[in-house]
Amino acid sequence: MSNALNKKLLNLYVFKDLIKRKKTLKRAVKDPAYWITAQNKEIADFVKYIYKIPFYRKRFDEAGIGPDDIKTGEDFKKLPPLTKEEYRAWLLEETKDKNAYKDWMHRQTTGSSGTPLDLYSLPTDRAAEIANLFRCALLQDKGYNPFTGRIFSTMVPKPKAKKKISIGPTNIQKSSISEPDELVEAYNDARPDFYYGNKTAVLMIAQYALEHNIKLHTPKCVGSISEALDDNARRMINKAYGPGRLFDIYGCAEVGNFAVDRASEPGKHLIWNDTHVANLYNKKAVEGQDNAYTGQLMLTSLIHRGFPLVNYIVGDTVEITYEDGVPYITRILGRTNDVIKNADGSSFKWMHINRIMFGITDITQFRIVQKTYTDLTFVLASQDMSDERKAEIEDTITKRAREIFGEDMNKKAKNITFEWHDRIPPDPTGKIRILVSEVK
C-alpha cells in the first residue's frame, strides 16, 4: 500500500495500534514481567527486518553477529551505539531525492540541544507514536477515553486551528510560543479531557491563570512533554489544573515517547518495553542501591521501520532501576550537554543545580546562564516578591552554590549574579533550557 494512501488512513492505523498496545498495558499492569515477554516477541520480528537494511547489515557484520544473536533487549548491546551524527549522515545520504519521500511524514527536531535534525517516518511509524501518546493517558486511570475525549495540545510547530490527527474528537493545537493570554483563552475554550504540551507552555498557562485569578477548566489528565519537571513546576501546575492529574511523558522527536510516570507516583517512569528497548551506555552501578544503574540512555525503537533507530544515543543521562527484571527510569539526570563547565575539564550537571534550588517554592521559573568559566547568572522569575525575600533567596542560593561548586584553586569558584523577572519567555524552540553554558 502506498504511503500517500497510508497517510489518509492514519487514524485507522492509530486505532489498530492503540487496541494492541492497550491489551498489552492491561495485562502488564497485572503482571509487570509480561513487558519483557511482549518485548521479546517484537524483537524477533524487528531484528529480521533491520538485518535486510544495508546500513544495519554492515553494523551486524562489523560486530560479527547475525539476527539470531539478538533475542532480548540486552542483546542489542552486541551492536555498536548509534550517534546522532551517524544517523544524520545516513538520512542525508538516503533522502537526496526529496521527491521520493514526499509521501512520508516529515518533521524536524527543535534543535534545542544542537543542530536540528530532519526526520522521515512512515505513516505507520507515526501512528504507533500517537497510539503510545494515548496510552500515556490511559495509564493514569482517570477515566480518559481516547475515542470520545477532547484534546488540547501546545507544541512547538506552527499554530494550527483544528486538525483531527487521531481517533477521537477534534484536537485543538496551539503553538507553545503563543502569548500566555492566548493560550489560556484557547485552553478554556477547548475544555479538554486530555491536555499535553511541552512543560514551558503547560506551566505558562498555569502561571498566567493563577496570577490573573482565571479559573482553568479541570481536565482528566495533563501530560508534560519534552522538559524535566522540577518540584516548583509540579506544584504550580497541580494548583492551577487540579491535583492528581499531572504526569511526565518522556521522549524525543527521533524515537517518539517511550516512558511515562503516573500522577500518583511522580518520577518513576514506566518504559514502553513493547515498543522500545532501553539500555545504558557507559553503565555504572549506583552506590548503595540494588539493581540501580546510571549511564547515557541508549534506545532502540521497535516501532520505527522507515529509518529505524538501533542503540540510539539520546543524549540524556538517566538512572534505571530493575524490579524483577523489568527496567524503570527512576531519575532523569539531564542532557549530557546541559552542564556548567569548568576550566579543568570537569563539569556540574542538573543534579547539582537541583540541590541548589531545592525547597525554594516561591520561584516560578529559573535558568542558570554560564558566561565564562567563573561567571554564573541565576535568572529567576516570581510575581510581586518583596526585595527582602529576594535578598533571602539570593543569599540561600549563593551559600548553597559555594558549598557545591567550591572555592578551591581548581578554577571551580563561581562569581554569582542575579536577574529577576516576572516571567522567563520561552526560547524560539518553545522551551526554557534550565542550564545554558555560553562557554565553548
Q: For residue 410, what pLDDT is reported?
A: 41
Cβ 20 vs Cβ 42: under 8 Å: no
| Pairwise CA distance, residues 283 & 286, whole Å | 10
Q: For residue 42, what pLDDT is reported?
A: 98
| Pairwise CA distance, residues 413 & 373, whole Å | 9
Site of grid cell 509487570: 32
Q: For residue 409, what pLDDT is reported?
A: 30
Q: Give the model confidence (pLDDT) of 2-39 as tens digits.
A: 888 988 888 899 999 999 999 999 999 999 999 999 99
| Pairwise CA distance, residues 413 & 287, whole Å | 28
Neighbouring C-beta atoms of residue 428, cutoff 10 Å: 11
> Rounded to the nearest 10 degrees, what angle do helices 231-241 and 199-211 cross at?
60
β-bridge pairing 375-381 and 365-372: antiparallel
- Show pLDDT as tens, one digit a residue, over the chain (440 residues): 688 898 888 889 999 999 999 999 999 999 999 999 999 999 999 999 999 999 999 999 999 999 999 999 999 999 999 998 899 899 989 998 888 998 998 887 755 555 567 889 999 999 999 999 999 999 999 999 998 899 999 976 544 444 445 555 567 788 777 889 999 999 999 999 999 998 888 999 999 999 999 999 999 999 999 777 888 889 999 999 999 999 999 998 899 999 999 999 999 999 999 999 999 999 999 998 999 999 999 999 999 999 999 999 988 889 999 999 999 999 987 655 567 888 877 777 666 777 788 778 778 788 888 888 888 899 998 878 999 999 999 999 998 888 877 654 344 556 889 999 988 876 665 566 778 888 87
Burial 127-159 (b: 16+ CB within 10 A, else e): bbbbbbbbbbbbbbebebebeebbbbbbbbeee
Q: For residue 229, what pLDDT is reported?
A: 83
Q: What sign results for the dihedral spanned by CA atoms 355, 270, 107, 173? A: negative
Q: Give the model confidence (pLDDT) of 385-422 as tens digits.
A: 999 999 999 999 998 888 877 654 344 556 889 999 98
Q: For residue 350, what pLDDT is reported?
A: 64
CATH numbers and ranges of domains, the chain: 3-72+99-269 (3.40.50.12780), 340-437 (3.30.300.30)
Q: What does the H/E/C string look like for the chain?
A: CCHHHHHHCHHHHHHHHHHHHHHHHHHHHHCCCHHHHHHHHHHHHHHHHHHCCHHHHHHHHHHCCCHHHCCCCHHHHHCCCECHHHHHHHHHHHCCCHHHHCCCEEEECCCCCCCCCEEEECHHHHHHHHHHHHHHHHHCCCCCCCCCCCEEEEECCCCCCEECCCCCCCEEEEECCCCHHHHHHHHHHHCCCEEEEEHHHHHHHHHHHHHCCCCCCCCCEEEEECCCCCHHHHHHHHHHHCCCCEEEEEEECCCEEEEEEECCEEEEEEECCCCEEEEEEEEEECCCCCCEEEEEEEEEECCCCCCCCCCEEEEEEEEEEEECCEEEEEEEEEECCCCEECCCCCEECHHHHHHHHCCCCCCCEEEEEEEECCEEEEEEECCCCCHHHHHHHHHHHHHHHHHHHCCCCCCCCCEEEEEEECCCCCCCCCCCCCEEECCC
Q: For residue 323, what pLDDT is reported?
A: 95
β-bridge pairing 415-421 and 375-381: parallel
Cβ 204 vs Cβ 183: under 8 Å: yes
Q: For residue 169, what pLDDT is reported?
A: 55
Q: For residue 335, what pLDDT is reported?
A: 59
Q: For residue 260, what pLDDT is reported?
A: 97
